[in-house]
């Protein structure tokens, strides 16, 4: 799912039956979910809080010995420390969800849906606080962060319709004196593993529907921006979600594997990159779980000769540079058919060069920072590999430093041409 604000433009022949010959241009969470870091904090920082877990209805501090820093990607300021929770803490979270399932599954479906009705009201109440948190922790523009929250809110609204969606089926007399029927029943404890790029929307894809149909849930948000998940969990409990129905743990590979392996977790929902998704699908299904694994993509835009010029240029610039290119629906390659290649290249680059790149909190910001220094390094490395393998830079956004954000993870929109499909920047740019 890792992407960046780089666009590949490809020229295609318009004749029927011929293959395309490629050329290219390739908030802080609420205070009570943080804790004061003591003098014995393993990172030696006394002024930055640690991020809490949610276990059995309480926000609790981890006894972990290992933490990862939570950075504002626009400034590199450390705004928190995320614990890599212990095996015992993970076991406690699963046990809490398993115990809660005993009563939650028998709670009337109308009662469960009523929690979602209140939940969506509270998300609307705290909408701007959520968007600000997403912008601070993830680096999105405020406009994009609001969209992140809103798309998740739509799923919560949809979850309110679960009573009618939970109906089974009855077919009478399918054979002599035989009727058949089906009923929908919850599975039990479900695990959710979230990516960094939609810290509000993706968790809201997962547990509102899973819990409203009667399951309980153990959520692992991305360790790079967990604040929105904690804020939303606080609202869910305020809305009436009982303790143990939702638990939140933090971690990296060890916790992912624990979710895949734990015998009391019956299903997994994952959104993220290809390598992780394939691993989780294989490991989870081998353990007998239902697994849905939503992974990355290499998205192409195809521009035909009758494309409306202004609309196409605006759409391309937004599609490859929006969210700093860090979304699975980002366009990283454009295929131009007929004379559109020569008509559009310079104009797309010109449009992209005019996008305002800054910290994300400004209302007129078009592109914010990348999530981490590692992601930025990878993106810049792919661009350099393209140049070394024969591509031409039309627009080079590497090294861009907005005023006031000189330490941030910034790369302005970048355009490569003369790229072929065997180049690393084309094959691995998604």
- Catalytic (active-site) positions: 328
Q: How many CA atoms lie within 13 A of 225 on its CB side?
A: 29
Q: Which bin fits 338, alpha (ψ -120 to 50), beta or left (φ > 0)? A: left
DSSP state of 357: B
Q: Judge whether 216 and 245 are in contact, CB under 8 Å.
A: yes
- Asked if 68 and 81 count as a contact pair (C-beta separation under 8 A), the reply is yes
Cα-Cα end-to-end distance for the chain: 6
- Chain-centroid distance of CA 212 in Å reads 22
Query: What are the residues facing 80 on neighbouring strands?
Result: 70
* Cβ atoms of 430 and 296 closer than 8 Å: yes
Asked whether 304 and 284 are in contact (CB, 8 A), the reply is no
Backbone region of residue 246 per phi and psi (left: phi > 0; alpha: psi in -120 to 50; beta: other values):
beta
Which helix (DSSP H) or strand (DSSP E) does residue 279 occupy? helix 274-286
Q: What is the distance between the alpha carbons of residues 163 and 367, in angstroms, rounded to a whole number?
A: 41
Q: Which segments within 63-186 are labelled E, that is strand?
A: 67-71, 78-83, 169-175, 178-182
What does the alpha-carbon distance between residue 184 and residue 206 come to, in Å, rounded to a whole number? 18
């Amino acid at each position: 799912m890792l992407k960046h604000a780089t666009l590949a433009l490809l020229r295609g022949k318009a004749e029927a039956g011929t293959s395309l010959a490629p050329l290219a241009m390739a908030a802080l969470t609420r205070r009570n979910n943080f804790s004061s870091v003591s003098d014995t904090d393993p990172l030696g920082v006394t002024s930055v809080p640690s991020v809490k877990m949610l276990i059995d209805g309480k926000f609790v501090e981890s006894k972990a010995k290992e933490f990862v820093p939570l950075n504002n990607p626009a400034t590199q300021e450390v705004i928190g420390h995320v614990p890599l929770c212990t095996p015992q803490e993970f076991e406690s979270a699963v046990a809490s969800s398993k115990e809660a399932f005993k009563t939650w599954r028998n709670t009337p479906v109308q009662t469960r849906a009523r929690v979602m009705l209140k939940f969506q009201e509270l998300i609307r109440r705290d909408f701007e606080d959520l968007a600000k948190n997403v912008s601070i922790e993830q680096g999105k523009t405020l406009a994009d962060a609001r969209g992140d929250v809103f798309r998740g809110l739509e799923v919560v609204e949809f979850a309110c319709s679960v009573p009618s969606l939970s109906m089974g089926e009855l077919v009478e007399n399918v054979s002599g004196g035989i009727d058949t029927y089906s009923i929908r029943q919850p599975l039990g404890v479900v695990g959710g593993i979230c990516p960094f790029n939609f810290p509000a929307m993706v968790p809201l894809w997962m547990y509102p529907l899973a819990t409203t149909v009667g399951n309980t849930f153990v959520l692992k948000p991305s360790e790079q921006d967990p604040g929105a998940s904690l804020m939303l969990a606080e609202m869910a409990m305020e809305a009436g979600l009982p303790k143990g129905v939702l638990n939140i743990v933090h971690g990296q590979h060890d916790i992912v594997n624990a979710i895949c392996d734990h015998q009391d977790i019956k299903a997994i929902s994952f959104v993220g990159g290809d390598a992780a998704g394939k691993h989780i699908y294989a490991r989870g299904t081998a353990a007998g779980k239902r697994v849905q694994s939503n992974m990355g993509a290499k998205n192409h835009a195809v521009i035909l000769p009758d494309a409306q010029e202004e609309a196409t240029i605006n759409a391309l610039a937004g599609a490859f540079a929006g969210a700093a290119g860090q979304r699975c629906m980002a366009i990283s390659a454009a295929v131009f058919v007929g004379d559109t290649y020569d008509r559009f290249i310079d104009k797309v680059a010109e449009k992209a060069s005019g996008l305002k790149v800054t910290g994300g909190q400004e209302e007129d910001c078009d592109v914010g920072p990348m999530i981490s220094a590692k992601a930025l390094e990878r993106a810049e490395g792919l661009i350099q590999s393209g140049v070394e393998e024969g591509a031409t830079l039309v627009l080079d956004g590497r090294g861009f430093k907005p005023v006031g954000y000189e330490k941030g993870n910034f790369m302005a929109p970048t355009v490569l041409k003369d790229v072929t499909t065997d180049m690393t920047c084309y094959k691995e740019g998604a």
